[in-house]
Each structure stands twice: as C-alpha cells, then as structure tokens.
C-alpha cells in the first residue's frame, strides 16, 4: 500500500511538472482567409500580438481568398514546425490534405470562427455562436417592425452568406427561425419569392455579388412599394444591398441588418443606412484561442462549452462559443469606442486605432 501511494505521489509530481512546462519558443501557425475584410486583419493581429507577448513564435499568413494558397500556407506551417495551427478556412472542406498532414505529424488544429469540414483531424473549434448571430438579427427585425402587434403586412428581402462557409447556414437559419412564423402568417412578404438559402446565398460574401442580386430584386418594387426590412447576414453583403438601394430605390429606407461592425458599416449606421450590426468582439475570440493553445501545450484540459452542435461530417468538434451582441445607434459608442475597440476620427466616425 505504501509503495502504491509513493508511486501515485511520484506520478502526481510528474503530471504537475508537465502542467508547468513553458510554451516559450513554441511555434504556432495562424491562417486567415483574406485581408480584404477588416475583421480578419484584426483577428490575425490580435492573436499574433497575444502569442508573441506570451513568448510563442508565430507564423501568420493571409490567403487572399485563394483556396490553393491557403492549402500551401497551412502545409508549410506544419512542415516548418508549427505544433498548433489555427485556421479560418476560405472553404470549409478544401484543406483536407493539409489536415491529414497535421494528423500524421501530431499537430493540433483549431478551426477559427469557421468550422473545418469533412476531417477528423480538427482538434477544437472556437467561434461566436453562429446560430445566435442569426437569432439576434431576426429578433431585431421582429422588434423594430413590432411583428407581434403591428398589422402589416411588411415587405422583407433576404441576403445570406457564402455556401462554402459552414457559418452561413447557421446565420441564415437562426434568423429564419425567428421570422418564418410571420412569413407563414402572411405578415412578412418576400416579394422576390427568394427565400431558400440556395437562392439568397452570396458566394464569397462579396459586396458586388450582393449588390447585383439586390439590383435585380429591386425590379419588384418598381410599383412604388416599400421594402420594410432587408435581412443581410453580414456587413459586406449589407454594403452591396445599400449600394443597390442608393442607386435604384426611392421608397422608405428599410431596416438593414449586418454583422461584424466593420468601420465602413459603422459610418453607414451613423448616416442612417444600416440599422444594426452584430458585434463579435474579435479580441474575445482571439484571447480565447490563445488560452486554448496554452492549455494544449501544457497538456491541460482545453476549455470548451459545446460538445454537441458542430459536426463537420466526420466528427463532432469540441467547441468554445462566444456570445454575440447587437450594435445600433443607441449603444455603439459604449460597445465600440468606450471599450477601446475603435477610436473616433476627426469627422466622428469609428476607425481602427493605429
């Protein structure tokens, strides 16, 4: 018995020591989809700064929305000694070969913001609650139009995200689940008739693509009728819709939703063109991922708060979901300026601090 206790104590000491192993000098790869959209620059640079501060070596790459480039970059990170790679994929299922290599070499893979699909090599997923993003947008429209009490009917149009991005379906569904009962009851009418995800999706989340489709939809409103709300899944698609409305619509300005609180969007919000955006504080997500990586290196249990939702076609990936909130004219100063996320320029518009 004494011997057993002694062995147990020795084991505890060894495990304790393992948990204290320093991550100093360990190498981490960060693969972001593009520099074109503001948020990914912030995600990348926040994480890079936090990792460097904690003593890691960092390889941060942006892939110009080019799947092959992202595949090459991640492969190089793994071959060059990164022990953990953090990936926000351009297309969820396009990195299979790199993920196989990660698995072969024992490299941990964290899917960042967007789930990596069709692979059992994904160790963890860190994101904002994507379904909740859609719920927040749908609830905003419901409240602003007072759908439970107002007589209506109201005209709604819908613009969703990239079908290659697993998030896009969650955003769409979260909002549609709020709005569907009102469509069924005839209180919300989609004059274009385009409701299904496949019809309203925007490949690549591109503003121009959203704008072209919005222009085509506006032909339904040539009769002088108003659009009351336009559900847009994010800010880049909302921007396309706003451009189309500015060019080709004379009716009352609709309630337009978005996501990310991009600086371009905040200017539109202040100017009364976009009613709301969902704020996903990228500092929170970045800090969470840096924490998870620390836990991986130390051999500690990794923080997750969802182990059932995100099945990628091969496995259900243990996930950490952060909570999104909405920003509108009433609260943006507190959320974005007082918190130091942005600063105001001389004209009174939010900009990223230098």
Q: Which residue in 126, 163, 166, 130 sits closest to 30, CA to CA?
A: 126
- Cα–Cα distances (Å) from 152 to 142, 149, 219, 252, 254, in that order, read 12, 9, 22, 15, 14
How far from each other are the two terminal CA atoms of the chain, in whole angstroms? 63
Q: Do residues 225 and 189 touch, judged by C-beta distance below 8 A?
A: no
Q: Give the nearer residue to ligand BGC in terms of CB position, either 119 or 207.
A: 207
**Burial class of 267 by CB neighbour count within 10 A (0 to 12, 13 to 18, 19+):** middle
Per-residue x/- mask for ligand BGC, residues 257 to 296, rule CB under 6 A?
A: --xx------------------------------------
Of 88 and 147, which has the nearer Cβ to ligand BGC? 88
Min CB(259)–ligand BGC separation in Å: 5
Return the number of the residue (123 or 277) whose C-beta is nearest ligand BGC: 277
User: Which residue's CB comes closest to ligand BGC?
Assistant: 234
Which is closer to ligand BGC, CB of 165 or CB of 281?
165
Which string of x and - marks every residue 151-180 that binds ligand BGC (by CB under 6 A)?
A: --------------x-x-------------
At residue 103, the 3 state secondary structure works out as helix
Name the minimum Å distance from CB 217 to ligand BGC.
21
Of 59, 113, 157, 281, the one binding ligand BGC (CB under 6 A) is: 113
Shortest Å distance, C-beta 260 to ligand BGC: 5
Under rule CB under 6 A, which residues in 242-261 are in contact with ligand BGC?
A: 259-260
Q: What torsion do the CA atoms of 263, 265, 271, 276 make, to the nearest 10 degrees? A: -120
Contact 77, 88 (CB under 8 A): no
Contact with ligand BGC (CB under 6 A) among 28, 32, 37, 190: 37
């Amino acid at each position: 018995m004494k011997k057993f206790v002694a062995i147990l104590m020795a084991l505890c000491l060894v495990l304790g020591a393992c948990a204290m192993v320093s991550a100093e000098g360990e190498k981490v790869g960060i693969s972001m989809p593009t520099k074109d959209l503001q948020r990914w620059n912030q995600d990348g640079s926040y994480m890079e700064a936090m990792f460097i501060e904690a003593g890691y070596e960092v390889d941060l790459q942006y892939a110009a929305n080019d799947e092959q480039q992202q595949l090459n970059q991640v492969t190089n990170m793994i071959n060059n000694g990164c022990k953990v790679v953090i990936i926000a994929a351009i297309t969820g299922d396009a990195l299979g070969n790199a993920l196989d290599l990660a698995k072969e070499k024992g490299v941990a893979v964290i899917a960042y913001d967007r789930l990596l699909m069709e692979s059992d090599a994904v160790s963890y997923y860190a994101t904002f609650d994507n379904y909740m993003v859609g719920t927040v947008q749908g609830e905003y429209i419901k409240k602003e139009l007072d759908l439970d009490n107002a007589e209506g009917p109201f005209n709604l149009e819908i613009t969703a995200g990239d079908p290659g991005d697993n998030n896009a379906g969650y955003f769409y569904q979260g909002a549609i689940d709020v709005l569907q009962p009102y469509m069924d009851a005839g209180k919300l009418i989609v004059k274009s008739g385009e409701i299904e995800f496949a019809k309203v999706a925007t490949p690549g989340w591109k503003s121009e693509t959203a704008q072209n489709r919005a222009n085509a939809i506006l032909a339904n409103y040539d009769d002088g009728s108003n659009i009351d709300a336009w559900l847009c899944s994010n800010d880049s698609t909302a921007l396309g819709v706003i451009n189309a409305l500015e060019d080709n619509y004379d009716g009352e300005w609709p309630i337009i939703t978005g996501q990310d609180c991009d600086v371009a969007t905040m200017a539109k919000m202040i100017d009364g063109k976009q009613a709301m955006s969902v704020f996903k504080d990228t500092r929170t997500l970045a800090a969470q991922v840096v924490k998870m990586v620390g836990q991986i290196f130390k051999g500690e249990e990794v923080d997750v708060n969802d182990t059932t939702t995100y099945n990628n076609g091969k496995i259900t990936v243990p996930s950490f979901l952060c909570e999104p909130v909405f920003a509108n004219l009433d609260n943006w100063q507190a959320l974005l300026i007082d918190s130091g996320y942005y600063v105001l320029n001389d004209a009174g518009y939010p900009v990223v601090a230098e």
